[in-house]
Structure 1
Amino acid sequence: MNQALLRHPHFVSLEGGEGAGKTTAINAIRDLLRERGHEVVLTREPGGTPLAERIRGLVLKPDEEIAGEPLSAEAELLLVFAARAQHVRQVIRPALQRGAYVISDRFTDSSYAYQGAGRGLDLQWIAELEKRAVGLQPGLTLLLDVDVAVGRARANGRDLWPDRIESEQDDFFQRVREQFRLRAQQDTQRFRLIDAGQDQAGVAAQVRRAVAEWLEQEADA
């Protein structure tokens, strides 16, 4: 991994494809950390600040004025990183500096998966943006892995009006899943793979075990 990136032990990210059940996992982590007396900040990407949330709308659900203008893959990537840079500086770093745990629904790994593998953009370009515009990595990333067909069926049952990315085809999401899994294989120290094909109780239990084990390892380090 790029040594210029700070890997913070109080920063946890949740990754996975559509319908992976990240909300269930986030709630499980939040509850475990609060039970242990920690301050917990919940946030998401793209978003997390008023400006970043505005950018999220441009990327995922543009208003009527610009909805007819195709968003290029390059513009999508740069917008996501603009939102991320603001998010890190306004929310994530200040929370970490005061000792809180930050749990983010998605972080830079999603750019490698969605804009990199999904859109076909250069992964080295993404790595350079990560280094220069973000400079921060989670200490723990939980990858909620689920079969594309299962995840999409869940998402379709939940979202009456899918956004730009949710409207992509299955081959797009298969590339996304493969990239997530590849990143997890390449960085076993940071990633924990969660079987998101289970029911919600099973996912929550596996997540709690993974986080509890990680906290013990951090305490012993």
Structure 2
Amino acid sequence: MGTEVGAAPTSRRGLFLTFEGPDGSGKTTQLRLLAEWLRSRGLDPVVLRQPGSTALGERIRAILLDSRSEAVLGPIAPLAELALMFADRAQQIAEVIQPALEAGRVVLCDRYTDSSEAYQGGGRQLGSDRVLAVHRAICNGFQPDATVLLLPDVEVSLARAQQRNAAFQQKHGGADENRFEAEGEAFFRRVHAAYEAIADREPERVLIFRDGGIEEIAAAIRSRLAHLLPESTGTAG
């Protein structure tokens, strides 16, 4: 696990937390558990996913994640993929994230720019510098107060992702969200390495959680974020 997050932010009233990791890492489950824990303490966090969570974002999500998209549209160029990810992100910042933070809300977001750096920068081999330059231009360099990074072994993540997407496809009549999971192992090893590099570069912001049971990791996340969370949540446990 990484080092403690830095001091609580003073430049805005709310709190922006992101959850990151390869597909199948368990990040979405941990985001849900933290949201439930916050609600049990009288808070109402804003829960988001990227791409998605706005009308525009959901349209972009359908294009980028469904493996059938390229059968209709043709191959999506890596730079087009990156541009669509940031179009979703810019809309979500303007429409949801900034207004929620200005209202003093806790915002929990499933993926943010770290995902673009890992998947497009690392997996698609566009490079971190290019992704971060787009982040500065499109998002004005806007970063979360802290990032929870779930990073199990590559093989573990892939097995979980494949199982999850099989269930999603069955439930949704053939639709899926496994366009990225269709990539080979080399792609996901590059994604994993990119996440490691991000955590090494920004240890104050990025907290790594590698192994453990679901509840064990959830308790560790609460403990390590306790000094950032609003006082009304009480003591982490």
- Could you tell me the TM-score, scaled by structure 1's length? 0.87
1:77 aligns with 2:82: yes
**Aligned twin of 1:219:** none
Q: Give 1:111 deviation, angstroms.
A: 0.4
Report SS of the residue matched to 1:19.
Answer: coil
Shift, 1:11, TM fit? 0.2
| Distance change in 2, residues 1:181/1:213 (3 Å) | farther
Deviation, structure 1 residue 33: 2.8
Q: 1:115 to 1:7 in 2, by over 3 A?
A: farther
Residue range with higher mean Cα deviation, 25-34 or 139-148: 25-34
Matched with 2:128 is: 123
Return the alpha-carbon distance in structure 1 between the equivalents of residues 37 and 82 of structure 2.
33
Q: How does 1:144-155 map to 2 (within 5 A)?
A: 144-155=150-161
Match of 2:32 in 1: 27
2:148 pairs with 1:142: yes
Instruction: After superposition, give the CA deviation of every residue in 1:59-113 in whole Å (9 maximum; x if it has no partner).
Output: 1126668535001101100011111111110111111111101000000000000
Between 1:76-85 and 1:27-36, the stretch displaced more is 27-36
Q: Distance in 2 between matches of 1:134 and 1:96?
A: 15
**Residue of structure 2 in register with 1:38 after alignment:** 43
What is residue 205 of structure 2 aligned with on the other side? 190
Cα RMSD over matched residues?
2.3
Q: How does 1:1-221 map to 2 (within 5 A)?
A: 10-61=15-66, 67=72, 69-135=74-140, 136-160=142-166, 161=176, 163-195=178-210, 197-215=211-229
Deviations 1:8-34 (A, max 9, x none): 660000000111111221123213333
- Distance of aligned partners of 1:105 and 1:64 in 2 relative to their CA distance in 1, 3 Å threshold: closer
The 3 A distance-change label for structure 1 pair 7 and 18 is farther
Secondary structure of the residue aligned to 2:146 is: strand
Aligned in 2, Cα 1:62/1:193: closer, same or farther, shift over 3 Å? closer
Shift, 1:45, TM fit: 0.3
Is the contact between residue 16 and residue 144 of structure 2 (CA under 8 Å) also seen in structure 1? yes
- Runs of at least 5 residues in structure 2 that lack an aligned partner in the other structure: 1-9, 167-175, 231-237
Determine if contact 2:67/2:177 at 8 Å carries over to the other structure: no
